[in-house]
Amino acid sequence: MARVMLDVSSIYKSFSEPVLVDISLHLNRGEVLGVVGPNGCGKTTLLRIMAGLESPDRGSVRREGKVGIVFQEDRLLPWKTLWENVALGLKYHGMRGEELARRVREYSSMVGLTDSDLSLHPRKASGGTRRKAALARALVLEPEILLLDEPFTGLDVKARASLREALKWIWDEYGLSTVIVSHQLEELLPLADRVYVLTPKPAKVAEEIDLRGMDLEKRLERVKEALLHILSRAGAD
Amino acid sequence: MTQGNKGADRVQGIAFRTGRILAGLFVLAIWISASATGMLPGPVEVLAYLLSMRLEEVVPQVLKTLYNSITGFSLSFLASMVLGLLSHKLPLIRGFSEALSEIFNSTSALVWSLVLVATLGVLSPLPPILVVAAVTLPHILTATVSALSSADPGLLEAVRSVGARPSDEFFEVILPSSVPLLASASRVGLGTALRISVVAEAFGSSGGVGYMIIRSYNLADASGVLAWSLVLIALVLGLDQLVLKPLERRAKRWLE
Ligand SMILES: Nc1ncnc2c1ncn2[C@@H]1O[C@H](COP(=O)(O)OP(=O)(O)O)[C@@H](O)[C@H]1O
Ligand SMILES: [Mg+2]
């Protein structure tokens, strides 16, 4: 029986209108979980609730470990270098000096950031480099659960491939339990073990699909079929 | 197409600079026609007066005015930071700051000068500093409150997600985010400070460019009044163009 790292149970969330309706899902240890759904359906809101940055109106979230989150917009501090951005969390936790430097170096090189990348300010770095710095900023705190919001959006082909390699390496090495929210199926599906397909806003879980044992073609076919199904049902309403 | 645009841009640039030069000539023309009435010394006369002034006579007065302005401005800047920071959390302080700005904003430099000189005496060095602080406070305070609330909520959430405490949020996000707005406000505020400082100096006997202007006036020395006024104009323009404007431009690039 796999250990559950993150358990989301019957979550409701409204802003001016309902966004999430009765969402239940779980993340097993060492698993890469995908969450897909149409744009604006509530994926980011769900991820922020998983991270504890937003509280649900109803329902509960149980986390078995520290959470690290990477936002879609990177959200690096523009007046600090990438090195300083990666080091932020460690500094807030009181780490200093050589120990901090070692930790920053270790996780930066893990995601493929060079020393010269790290000396840049965000505005001088490429989109791919910034995304990796945001990833390293979450990883240095050694989370047990990693949440990624649209990690491939806005990156060119080369940067996407490079980020994919970095993520695979991290999973192979650490088996880090991960949730990836994305609407880019071609990027997400080769990586994910399981996906939840959400309906258009307000988001409900339409389907849970176990992708293990399927080749990429089969995975795409299966998830697209599920999305078409919910979209046609939404159109009929 | 781009070639045409470039040409048009150049013409517009030349027109703009010509406009600036014309403004200078316009002021000079007014001065010359005013001096034609015989009531006011002309530019040549004043220039000769300026050249006859000794450096060790001018420099201490200029430094005195700079000191008054910068000290007064720093006082209002510090008060604004404290009130702005507390306003962020406490509605009571927010209301207090807002009303204080409104009251100070409707009080003239003349009133502050008279009240402070009457209270502290003509020999006190404090009135110019305090007048500058009081007059610049509303502007700086308003700017500080809005600057301190200009931080991107996304950045605040990001640092919170890696364990930032409220003090980290303040020093690492809120304060740096406010640098460009504070720089603009400081540029305007310091310019105002210089012009206000001389008004307050005129009411006391503790020196400064304003004191020299009024002293020349009392001695019926019209050339002295204009010469010291030119010193003030040079000081305001020089500080703005050579120091404040470049600093503001640097600060604006900060957030990109
Ligand atoms: N803080 C908020 N206040 C008000 N509405 C919000 C807020 N956050 C998200 N929403 C709304 O919730 C819906 C879902 O947003 P989001 O979770 O960002 O969707 P997705 O990530 O799937 O594109 C959108 O209609 C959005 O406008
Ligand atoms: Mg989103």
Assess A69–B contact: CB distance below 8 Å, yes or no. Answer: yes
Query: Relative to the alpha carbon of A35, which ligand is closest?
Result: 1
Q: Which residues of A touch B176 (CB under 8 A)?
A: 77, 79
Q: Is the residue at A72 inside a domain?
A: no
Average pLDDT of the residues of chain A: 93
* A65-82 pLDDT per residue, tens: 999 999 999 999 999 999
Measure CB to CB from residue A92 to each of B152, B155, B165 and give the nearest one.
B165
Cβ contact, residue pair A78, B256, below 8 Å: yes
Read off the tokens for A42.
């509530």
Rounded Cα gap, residues A98 and A100, in angstroms: 5
With a CB cutoff of 8 Å and minimum separation 6, the contacts of A209 are A194, A195, A196, A197, A222, A223, A226
Q: What's the pTM value of the predicted model, to 2 decimals?
A: 0.82
Among B161, B179, B182, the strongest candidate for a mutation testing the A interface, having the largest count of A CBs within 10 A, is B161
**Both A159 and A101 in a single domain?**
no
What pLDDT was estimated at residue B88?
A: 79
Q: Please state which CATH number belongs to domain B42-253.
A: 1.10.3720.10
Ligand 1: which of A14, A21, A44, A181 to mutate, most ligand atoms within 8 Å of CB? A44
Q: Is the residue at A212 inside a domain?
A: yes
What pLDDT was estimated at residue A1?
A: 52
Q: Is the residue at A4 inside a domain?
A: yes
Could you list the residue range(s) of the whole structural domain that residue A198 is in?
1-65+145-237
Q: What is the ipTM of this complex?
A: 0.90
With a CB cutoff of 8 Å and minimum separation 6, the contacts of A131 are A70, A74, A151, A155, A159, A163
**Both A11 and A31 in a single domain?**
yes
Rounded Cα gap, residues A166 and A205, in angstroms: 29
Rounded Cα gap, residues B136 and A99, in angstroms: 47
Domain end, chosen from A102, A121, A143, is at A143
What pLDDT was estimated at residue B2?
A: 52
Its sign, for the CA torsion B168, B170, B174, B178, is negative
Cβ contact, residue pair B163, A53, below 8 Å: no
Assess A107–B contact: CB distance below 8 Å, yes or no. Answer: no
Do A113 and A136 form a contact (C-beta atoms < 8 A)? Answer: yes
Q: Is the residue at A205 inside a domain?
A: yes
A202 preceded by a cis bond (ω within 30 of 0):
yes
**Both A232 and A164 in a single domain?**
yes
Cβ contact, residue pair B159, A79, below 8 Å: no
Assess B163–A contact: CB distance below 8 Å, yes or no. Answer: yes
Residue for token pair 């690039």: B253
A41 pLDDT above the threshold of 70: yes
pLDDT band at A201 (very low <50, low <70, confident <90, very high): confident
**Consecutive 10-residue runs of chain B (256 residues): their mean pLDDT?**
72 94 95 90 93 93 95 95 87 92 92 93 92 94 89 95 93 92 91 92 91 94 94 93 90 76
A237 pLDDT above the threshold of 60: no
What pLDDT was estimated at residue A231?
A: 82
**Both A3 and A96 in a single domain?**
no
Do A140 and A132 form a contact (C-beta atoms < 8 A)? Answer: no
Read off the tokens for A166.
């970095």
A161 pLDDT above the threshold of 90: yes
**Both A137 and A84 in a single domain?**
yes
What pLDDT was estimated at residue A17?
A: 94
A60 pLDDT above the threshold of 90: yes
pLDDT band at A235 (very low <50, low <70, confident <90, very high): low
- Residue of the CA atom closest to atom 23 of ligand 1: A40
With a CB cutoff of 8 Å and minimum separation 6, the contacts of B90 are none
Read off the tokens for B248.
């503001």
Span A145-160, average pLDDT: 94
Question: For chain B, which residues make up each domain, given as ranges?
Answer: 1-40, 42-253
Number of domains making up chain A: 2
Helical (H) or strand (E) element with B39: none
Q: Is the residue at A43 inside a domain?
A: yes
What pLDDT was estimated at residue B4?
A: 62
Span A209-218, average pLDDT: 94
**Both A167 and A136 in a single domain?**
no
**Both A18 and A130 in a single domain?**
no
Do A180 and A107 form a contact (C-beta atoms < 8 A)? Answer: no
Report the residue of chain A nearest B168, measured CA to CA.
A92
Residues facing A68 on adjacent strands: A146
Cβ contact, residue pair B157, A73, below 8 Å: no
Domain end, chosen from A109, A124, A143, is at A143
* A78-97 pLDDT per residue, tens: 999 999 999 999 999 999 99
Helix axis angle for A127-139 and A97-110, nearest 10°, is 130
* A5-34 pLDDT per residue, tens: 999 999 999 999 999 999 999 999 999 999
**Both A3 and A90 in a single domain?**
no
Rounded CA Rg of chain A: 18
What pLDDT was estimated at residue B39?
A: 83
The contacts found for B52-58 with CB under 8 angstroms, 24 or more apart, are B53/B227, B58/B231
Domain end, chosen from A118, A143, A168, is at A143
A232 pLDDT above the threshold of 90: no
